[in-house]
Structures are given as structure tokens and as C-alpha cells.
Structure 1
């Protein structure tokens, strides 16, 4: 009976350790994709708020943009640009036409994938923040919630919880192995004494 309980505990422990390790890896990977990778590349994560880029980008998706020289941006790329100087509103649309001026500046005609007509005003190179690098579906809403002061509090708290959880897993694993060795030694002594 005890042997069956020990086996059941071992199986449950292995499943729990596998799930917790998988969740920890997922959390670290998402944090890297949302915070570390964009920061290292000089980019930034943004949340898609409208359906103008459907089906490429849905509202709530997180898109990560990175800087790119406007002269290197081509037709078909998706850019994020500031609508008006001094305002925080950004739009992410696809380049459908590119023009170069004699002074070396470039301008773009953009259009949302879901829109029937191009955007009314050409986009100048100084308005461009970057091109879309990658997207993570639905993570934009979470990113919007974790901004400013919230991010400064939550990120270290989550990191601390994950660290404590990892330490707890290590300690409980060492303890479990010690118990298993103790049971094995006792079992060996009992068999030896009985023989």
C-alpha cells in the first residue's frame, strides 16, 4: 500500500514539476519577447486598437516595432507612424506606394489591410517610428495593463515569485530524493535482516 502511495506521489510530483517548469519557461519567454528583445533592438511593443489591419493584425494583438531607415522601407512593409507632431497617436498601416524627393527625403502612401481606400495624407519619413518586426496575438491587452508604475511594480514582483518558486522546487526535490533514498535504504536493511 505504501509503495503504491509513494509511486503515486512520484507521478504527481513529476507532472507538477513538468507543468510548473513549462509555465515558468513560458512566462520567461513572453517577458523576453515583450520587454527584453524590443529593448535590445531599440524597438517598442504596441497594442493594436482597431481592426484596420485585419486579418494581419487583430485588435488586442501586440506588435513589436523596430527602427528602420525610411529610405530602406519598401512597398508591402508595415510601418508605424505618428499622425501629427506632438501627439501620441500612432497608426500601423501597410506601405502601398513610396516616393523619393530630390533632397533625399521619402514619403509613403499607406493603407490598412481592411480598408478599401488608401490613407488620405502621405506619410513623411520624419513621422515613422519603425516597421513591424513581429506580433503576439492577444497579448496587447496585457501589455496595456502593465504600463508605467504598474510595470515597475509587477515585473519585479513576478520575477521574485518565480525565483522563490524555483528555490522551493529545488528544496522540495532534494527533500523528496532524500526520502526516496531513506525508503530504499530501509527496504534494503529489512530485506537483509529477514534473510
Structure 2
């Protein structure tokens, strides 16, 4: 095989890989809309380096009792009527309002959130795919034009009928008739299907970028940027339970990607980290911070790979001790 042919095949393959990666990330940003979830483009760096400007965060609606400290919420910003706020709940106010704070900010937000203003809790982050939206809204024409031109070039090369698509046909040329001339002019069925498939994927990607609304915040300090597409499939543990056995023991079920570990959280605070992936139960530690007169909420988080995680959508209530006596127990 000649070197020119090798370079051509490699170029087409690389272009198709780039286009497939971009479209896959755009799909993960757009697909949750079908579930009623809201994709949001991060416009500021209030929680970097965990989440960067240009990431798309997907939030899902949750009941009011699931708005616990430590969770990241998407809400209508009371300080700016035309903006959304995507910050972490720092604490619950005495009147039920939510005190929020960006991880990268030195102080809490000046105005608490009313629970009715919350649109959802962040559950998924797609890295970097929203940068064109950021550039468009901030008027940065040069990087936007450069990325659009580069993607258009990759798309053109990816749709090109390369030498690897159809093997050389050693058979003699067909008889020159009007019928064979029409057949030779028609593109192969495989090439037509490939082009149509890419056209549909481009439409899906465009829809995903179009529906995402800008927010001035970020998502989770557990979710560093990653180029893996499978990270969009990370799910949290399910079917949380609790039983008393000399203390509170939390159980869970998990049916997803092979986890690296689990974490046990109380009110959004990690109390046990790096639970082995084969475990499906953990004892709530008695660290003296619980109270008989307060109900704490326990959740479990899945860690997949080195950078992606997902928290359970449900929690279990745990009680505390009285005057330093006793152990945490299931309520």
C-alpha cells in the first residue's frame, strides 16, 4: 500500500473519530431533555477547577425534601431575573430557604434561594461541549469561527468517500450502456446511508447545543474534566435501605458501569470514602456529630474511573445520640 493511501485512510479515520466524539458528547447533553431534565451551559468559573466554563450540566427535578446540604441545585437567581444560579447548598436557613455557595467563591451567595425557585439538582456533566455557546454569548468571534471551521473541515473529511470504503474492483469495466452509466453515477447505498446518518447526528447535536440555557455556576467537585463519552452513563446507587445492628447500617443496590468505589455521605458530607466496589452495605460511623433531636439524611455515591461520580437520588433517615450516649440509628 502506498504511503499516500495510508495517510488518506488515517486522515479520514481521524476526522470521523473527532466528529463521532463531538456528536456523542452533544447527544449526552441533549438526550436527557426527553426525560424532562434541563441541560445548562456553565458561563462562569465560580466552582473551578472541578467544572470549567463551557461544560454542560444536566439537572433533574427532585422533591423538596431532597434539597440537602452538599447538593448542587439549578435555580432562578433572585439577584438577577434573567439568569440561573447553579451552586451548592451550603446550609438550610431557619425559615427553610437554601443558603448556596460556589465552591470557588470565598463567601456564600448574598441572597438565599426559596425552594420553589429550584429547577432541579445537577446529576450529569458533559465537559467542554458548550464552549461555542459561551463564545457566542460573549461575542468572541475568532475562537467560535475557528472551532466551527475546524469541525466543518473534519465533517467534510469524515463524509468523504475514502479509499478504505470500497475495495478496488479488479473486474473489467462494464459495458458502456445508458443503464450502466446511470448506475456508475449513483453513489453507493452504503455511502448514502453514511451521509444520511451523519446528517441526522448533526441535527441532534445542533438541537442539543440550542436547547441548553446559560447558568453562572458549576456542578460538582468530584467531576473533573474528562474526554470519555461513557462517563455520561454513570448512575448512582438505587434502593437504599437501613437496618439497626448495633448501629445504623445502610444498604444499596447498584446496576451500572463497574465502579471504582462507593462513598457514604451524611447531609452531603463524605463520612466514609473508597468503599470497595463489591460492597453493598456500610455502617454509619459514630463520630459524635449526630443528635437525637435531628434527622440526618444518608446517601451513597458511585465513583467510576478516576473522575466521574453519581449520587443516589434517594436517601435514608438516620437519628443520633442523646448527650453523647448511644449510636446512630435508622429512623
TM-score of Structure 1 vs Structure 2, range by shorter chain:
0.5 to 0.7
CA distance in 1, matches of 2:20, 2:64: 36
CA distance in 2, matches of 1:76, 1:46: 19
Q: Equivalent residue for 2:40?
A: 46
Q: Give SS of 1:31's match.
A: helix
Q: Give SS of 1:119's match.
A: coil
CA distance in 2, matches of 1:28, 1:130: 25
Q: Equivalent residue for 2:50?
A: 56
Alpha-carbon contact 1:65-1:134 (below 8 Å) kept: yes
CA distance in 1, matches of 2:77, 2:108: 15
CA distance in 2, matches of 1:28, 1:139: 9
Count of aligned positions: 158
Deviations 1:148-190 (A, max 9, x none): xxxxxxxxxx9xx969954x4379722xx134x459xxxxxxx
Q: Give SS of 2:91's match.
A: strand
CA distance in 1, matches of 2:79, 2:49: 29
Please say if 1:92 is aligned against 2:86: yes
Give 1:150-161 correspondences, 5 Å limit. none
Alpha-carbon contact 1:55-1:113 (below 8 Å) kept: no
Alpha-carbon contact 1:62-1:143 (below 8 Å) kept: no
Give 1:119-158 correspondences, 5 Å limit. 119-144=109-134
Structure 1 residue aligned with 2:161, among 157, 162, 169? 169
Structure 1 residue aligned with 2:71, among 77, 85, 99? 77
Q: 1:137 to 1:24 in 2, by over 3 A?
A: closer
Structure number with greater Rg is 1
Give the structure-1-normalised TM-score: 0.63
Q: 1:164 to 1:146 in 2, by over 3 A?
A: farther
Higher strand proportion = 2
Name whichever of 133-142 and 110-119 sits farther off: 133-142
* Runs (5+) with no aligned partner, structure 1: 1-5, 148-157, 184-195
Shift of 1:14: 2.8
Shift of 1:108: 1.4
Q: 1:69 to 1:58 in 2, by over 3 A?
A: same
Q: Equivalent residue for 2:25?
A: 30
Structure 2 residue aligned with 1:113, among 103, 121, 146? 103
* Runs (5+) with no aligned partner, structure 2: 138-150, 173-331
Q: Equivalent residue for 1:190?
A: none
Give the structure-2-normalised TM-score: 0.40
CA distance in 1, matches of 2:63, 2:37: 13
